[in-house]
Amino acid sequence: MADNDAPPADERAQEAYEEQNVHEVYQQIAEHFSSTRYKPWPIVERFLKELSPGSIGLDVGCGNGKYLTVNKDIFIIASDRSENLVRIAVNHQPHSPIVADILHLPHLDASFDFAISIAVVHHLSSPDRRIQAIVEILRTLKPASENHPGGKALIYVWALEQKNSRRGWDKGDNQDVMVPWVLKNSSSKGGSSDAPKTFHRYYHLYEEFELERDIRQAGGRVLESGYEKDNWWAIATPSNE
Amino acid sequence: MKVVTANFMTCAVKGCKASPASFPLHFHDAELELQELDFQAEFIQNIVPRLDWNGLQVTANELGFPKIPDTKPDGDALNDEQTLRDLHRLLLETQVMEGKLKCGNCGHEYMIKEGIANFLLPSHLV
């Protein structure tokens, strides 16, 4: 697979493209991926720790579930598209993660105090699908009322502007990229070869202000946003217009 | 899947969400397992106000649990240790390991296998 395989233009084809270039890859690399993802990112940690006891919310695209235990006084309904990652995430008691799709979340409207979606929305392969993903997250949050400030979502995406990172991308580069994941010792499933296997995941690299724009297009209001270690992040709430 | 989680789920089909029949989802052929967890009274006290009590009654009944109180415990009742321990057992320690969750609106069944519920939709329902 070439590095510049652009995502297709048709919606059904985009779904199949993500199936092959995102979902299937995470299924394959789940265990190794999980072993490299254990440290919570500071802004996510802060967001979760500031929630009041008894807050109930979502972790959409929870991966191995590393954020589930940050704040023991809240309850998180975590989900991921990859069943193999959910199998790892279920070990974080008392939460019980499920398999679900970010574009079709199995939750009621206007019910939750918070949501996090960390390094997930950038895996959707068209502007429409990325905005729809944010619409779907915002839909589940409590709207603001006179007495309540409304639910808040923290969304994190990979940044195009990361010239000091290992990948070295920067402003002006192609935003739709295939990123290799090298899986060493793929011996778990009957394979006798110890040669490393390389998988490619699709990412849309967000440029400055693009996340805020997508949130507004999705009907959200940006409360706070910023850049942290090669990622853009924003805290959003459903807009009451 | 834990009973508490079921209280926050509905059908993944967009058109079902507006229908009251899509909540709660209905358990069928459920196989349960008890997984003991440390009892934390405050945690239960904190989440009980957030539960949909009618939904929990339906779920508890479908899973063959003894009847839970008719109304959601609040005030003093939320300080009663036995009440909290019973809820801890039902909400957090009871795992549905195998079975189905069925939408009362569209009839779609979501499978639960090895304790994990799968809400991915077949392409004709997307």
**What are the pLDDT digits (tens) for A119-175?**
999 999 999 999 999 999 999 999 988 888 899 999 999 999 999 999 999 999 999
Domain range summary for chain A, segments of one domain joined by +: 11-175+202-238
Cβ contact B115–A90 (<8 Å):
yes
Q: If phi over 0 gives left and psi between -120 and 50 gives alpha, with beta otherwise, what is residue B54?
A: alpha
If you measure CA to CA, which chain B residue comes closest to A76? B5
Cβ contact B9–A107 (<8 Å):
yes
Task: Give the model's pLDDT for residue B67.
Answer: 83
Residue with tokens 């229908």: B19
Cβ contact B43–A73 (<8 Å):
yes
Question: Would the pLDDT of A192 be above 80?
Answer: no
Contact present, A153 and A115 (Cβ < 8 Å): yes
Q: Which percentage of chain A shows pLDDT scores above 70?
A: 93
B32 touches chain A (CB under 8 A): no
**What are the pLDDT digits (tens) for A21-34?**
999 999 899 888 88
Q: Which CATH architecture has domain B3-119?
A: Single Sheet (2.20)
| CB-defined contacts A:B, below 8 A | 88
Q: What is the largest CA-CA distance in chain A?
A: 63
Cβ contact A106–B110 (<8 Å):
yes
Q: Quote the ipTM score.
A: 0.96
Q: Three-state SS for B71?
A: coil
pLDDT band (50, 70, 90) for residue B48: very high
Q: What is the DSSP string of B74-108?
A: -GGGGG-HHHHHHHHIIIIIEEEEEEEEE-TTT--
What mean pLDDT comes out for the span A3-29?
87
Give chain A positions within 8 Å (CB) of B110: 106
Range with the poorest average pLDDT among A37-41, B28-32, B62-66: A37-41
Other C-beta atoms closer than 10 Å to the C-beta of B71 total 9
Cβ contact B116–A99 (<8 Å):
yes
Question: Would the pLDDT of B118 be above 50?
Answer: yes
Closest CA to A158 of A187, A120, A103: A120
Q: Which residues, in sequence order, are bridge partners of residue A201?
A: A179
**What are the pLDDT digits (tens) for A80-102?**
999 999 999 999 999 999 999 99
Mutate to test the interface with A, among B3, B4, B5 (most CBs of A within 10 A): B5
Task: Give the model's pLDDT for residue A214.
Answer: 98
Question: Would the pLDDT of B73 be above 90?
Answer: yes
Contact present, A229 and A164 (Cβ < 8 Å): no
Cβ contact B5–A105 (<8 Å):
no
Nearest CB to A96; choose among B2, B43, B47:
B2
Task: Give the model's pLDDT for residue B126.
Answer: 86
B79 touches chain A (CB under 8 A): no
Fold adopted by A11-175+202-238: Rossmann fold (3.40.50)
**What are the pLDDT digits (tens) for A69-78?**
999 999 999 9
